Structure 1
Amino acid sequence: MSSRLASRPRCSRCNLSRHLCLCAEIPQVQTRTRILLLQHVMEIAKKSNTGRVAALAMPNSQVIIHGAPSGTDLELLSEPGTWLLYPDGPTAPPDAPPPRQLVVLDASWSQARRMTQRLPELRALPRLVLPPPEPGLLRLREPSHPSGMSTLDAVARAVEALEGREVAEPLERLAALRVQRIAACGTLY
C-alpha cells in the first residue's frame, strides 16, 4: 500500500476516511437507558472504532476514556441502576427492573477482559448478556471471541433487548451501512 493511500484524510467526527464519512447518515436515537461507553485509550485513534459512532448517534450517551494518563473518573459506574454489557458473569435477577444506565466496554476482547478484571466497579455490576450474534451479521472481520461484534452492533442489540426493535433499528442500519461502505472500498478505510 502506498503511503499516499495510508494517510488519507479522516473525518474528525466519525474518524473514517473522508470518502467513507458516515456523518450525514448518523441518526439521533433517543433511549430511556443511558449508554456509558467506557473506551480503552487505545481505541481512540482506531479507524475501526465504532464506539465513537454509537455515541454520536445517541444523545443519552457519554464516553469515558480508560487508561489515559490523567486517570479515569469511575464514579458514574456506581450509580444505582447501572449494568454492564458483557458476555458472562453475574446476570441481573429476572425480576430486576431494567437498567437506567448500561456500561459498554469499547475495547478489544483482551482489553475488555483486563478492564473487567482490574476495575472492581465493573466486577460488581449485574450483567446484560446478549446471545451470540446471528450468522448473517455483516462484519469486516471474524471476531476473536464467539460473542464478538463491533461496539456499534453490541449497542444496537442491547438497545433492542432493553427498549425494543423499533428503537434499535436506526443503529442496526447505521452499523450495516458502515460495513457496506468499507467493504466496497476494500481495505482502504
Structure 2
Amino acid sequence: MTQTCTHCGFTHNCYCEAIPTIASDLYLTLLTHPNELGRATNTGKLIAKMLAQAEITEWQRKQPCPRCTGESNLYPPVLLFPSENSVSIADWQAQHPGKSHFIVLDATWQEAKKMLNRSTWLQSLPQVHIESAQASQYQLRRNQQGGNLCTFEVCAQLVRELGDEDEANAMLTFFNDYLQRFQAERSGHALHR
C-alpha cells in the first residue's frame, strides 16, 4: 500500500526532493486569504518551503499583521500589488536602498482585490508591482484572467527583479515539474517520465 508523504501530502508523486533551496535574502510575508488555506491548488505554500525568510500569515480584515506593519521587523513593509499607486520594483529600490519586507496577497485575484479594498491598514502601505511579460504556466483553476500570474510565479518574478536570475529560473523549473506532478496526483497515478 502506498503511503501519503507527511511533508507534501502527495501519495504517488512526492515532490519533496525536487524542492530547490533558494539562496535569496528576500524577506517576504504571504498574506493568505482564509479560503486559500484549504485549497489544494494553493501555490503560496510552495514558496514557504523554499525561501528561508518567507512566512504565511492568514489575512484579517481589521486586525493588521504585526509582521506586515513594520512594528515587529527591521525592514520597511511594502505591498506587492499592481495599482495606479504602485511603482516598479526598480523604482522602489532606487528610492529605498537596502532590504524591504515584501507582502504578497495570496488569494485569487478577485479575493486579493477585496482584501485590499476591505483593509485600511493594507491600503496605507506603499505599493510596488512587478514587470513580467511572461505568460502564466498555472492552469489548475478555472476562470483565470489572462495576464495574471499565480502567487508562486509572482514570487519568482520578484526574486528575478531583485537580481537573482538563476534562483528565479530554478524556482520556475521546479514549478513546471510540480504542475505535472500535481496533475498526475489529482488523477490518482504516478507521473511517468
Query: What is the TM-score with the length of structure 2 in the denominator?
Result: 0.78
Amino acid at match of 1:51: G
Shift in Å at residue 167 of structure 1? 2.6
* Alignment correspondent of 1:5: none
Q: Secondary structure at the match of 2:42?
A: coil
Identity of aligned residues (%): 21
Amino acid at match of 1:102: F
Amino acid at match of 1:172: L
- Of the candidates 74, 88, 91, which is equivalent to residue 83 of structure 2? 88
* C-alpha distance after superposition, 1:42-81 (max 9, x if no partner): 111211111001101111111101259xx85512222152
* Alignment correspondent of 1:42: 35
Query: Hey, what's the Cα distance between the residues in 1 that align with 2:119 and 2:3?
Result: 36
Seen in structure 2, the aligned counterparts of structure 1 residues 186 and 29 have a Cα distance that, compared at 3 Å, is closer
Which stretches in structure 1 are left out of the alignment for 5+ residues? 1-7
Aligned: 1:125 with 2:118:
no
* Alignment correspondent of 1:111: 111
Deviation above 4 Å: which 4+ runs of structure 1? Answer: 8-12
Q: Secondary structure at the match of 2:139?
A: coil
Contact 1:77 1:121 in 2 (8 A): no
Which stretches in structure 2 are left out of the alignment for 5+ residues? 189-193
Query: What is the TM-score with the length of structure 1 in the denominator?
Result: 0.79
Cα RMSD (Å): 2.7
Seen in structure 2, the aligned counterparts of structure 1 residues 32 and 18 have a Cα distance that, compared at 3 Å, is same
Shift in Å at residue 24 of structure 1? 1.4
* Alignment correspondent of 1:66: 59
* Alignment correspondent of 1:161: 161
Greater relative contact order structure (CA < 8 Å, 6+ sep): 2
Shift in Å at residue 117 of structure 1? 0.7
Query: Hey, what's the Cα distance between the residues in 1 that align with 2:3 and 2:39?
Result: 14
